[in-house]
């Protein structure tokens, strides 16, 4: 499985969804808030699962972690990965996939990175943004992503690849960056310019 190709398909479908050119839609809010549509991680999850089924890729959703985490309360419990793909005819993880939408509090990032750090697996971070500018990226990288990873990198085992993907719906853009991860060792994300950029406008139906 080429995970980059899978992600490209998901990003294309999300952009079509945003432009009302897909069978899956972002539902409307029915209140006086400034956002008309609810954009969440659920649409990405549906699209990933559909792609895996179509490509006959072995996968599971809401997968219990092997590691224990104290994310709520005082008791360490197994957490959940959003999605996991498996190596052929095994239950060995191929890719752990975590989904994120928007710009939630820093702790939301840290708890996901903690799961990824302890997964002993290659990981995908798939992040959906309605829109973004340089200030968005600067805050996201410095205050959420780098900060979150730095707080948990001490627990990293082995050497694995983390793939970061950011899809920006309004601009129909996909950004991708591969980072080699080791205990106490990784290259922090400083700028969106480190990412490869793909224009998705040509894929809008």
Q: Where are the beta strands (DSSP E) in the chain?
A: 59-69, 77-86, 93-101, 122-129, 159-168, 173-182, 196-199
Tell me how crowded residue 178 is: count the other CB atoms within 10 A of its CB. Answer: 12
Q: For a pLDDT cut of 70, what percent of the chain falls above it? A: 98
Q: What is the DSSP letter of 18?
A: H
Residue 204 above 90 pLDDT? no
Q: How many CA atoms lie within 13 A of 146 on its CB side?
A: 13
Q: What is the DSSP letter of 27?
A: P
Beta bridge partners of 111: none
Residue 1 above 70 pLDDT? yes
Q: What residue ranges do the domains of the chain occupy?
A: 3-69+77-203
Helix (H) or strand (E) holding 115: helix 106-117
**CA-CA distance, 122 to 82, in Å (whole number)?**
14
101-140 per-position pLDDT tens digit: 999 999 999 999 999 999 999 999 999 999 999 999 999 9
Question: Would you state the structure tokens that stand for residue 36, as one six-digit string?
Answer: 């008309």
**CA-CA distance, 79 to 96, in Å (whole number)?**
13
137-180 per-position pLDDT tens digit: 999 999 999 999 999 999 998 999 999 999 999 999 999 999 99
Q: What pTM does this model have?
A: 0.94
């Amino acid at each position: 499985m080429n995970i980059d190709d899978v992600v490209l398909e998901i990003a294309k479908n999300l952009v079509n969804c945003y432009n009302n050119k897909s069978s899956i839609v972002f539902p409307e809010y029915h209140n006086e808030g400034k956002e008309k549509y609810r954009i969440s991680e659920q649409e990405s999850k549906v699209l990933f699962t559909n792609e895996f089924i179509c490509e006959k890729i072995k996968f599971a959703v809401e997968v219990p972690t092997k590691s224990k985490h104290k994310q709520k309360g005082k008791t360490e419990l197994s957490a959940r990965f959003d999605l996991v793909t498996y190596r052929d005819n095994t239950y060995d993880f191929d890719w752990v996939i975590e989904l994120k939408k928007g710009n939630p509090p820093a702790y939301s990032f840290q708890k996901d990175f903690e799961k990824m750090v302890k997964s002993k697996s290659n990981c995908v971070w798939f992040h959906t943004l309605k829109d973004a500018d340089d200030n968005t990226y600067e805050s996201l990288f410095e205050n959420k992503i780098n900060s979150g990873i730095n707080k948990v990198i001490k627990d990293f085992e082995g050497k694995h690849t983390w793939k970061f993907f950011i899809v920006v719906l309004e601009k129909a853009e996909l950004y991708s960056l591969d980072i080699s991860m080791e205990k106490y060792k990784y290259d922090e994300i400083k700028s969106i310019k480190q990412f490869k950029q793909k224009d998705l406008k040509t894929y809008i139906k």
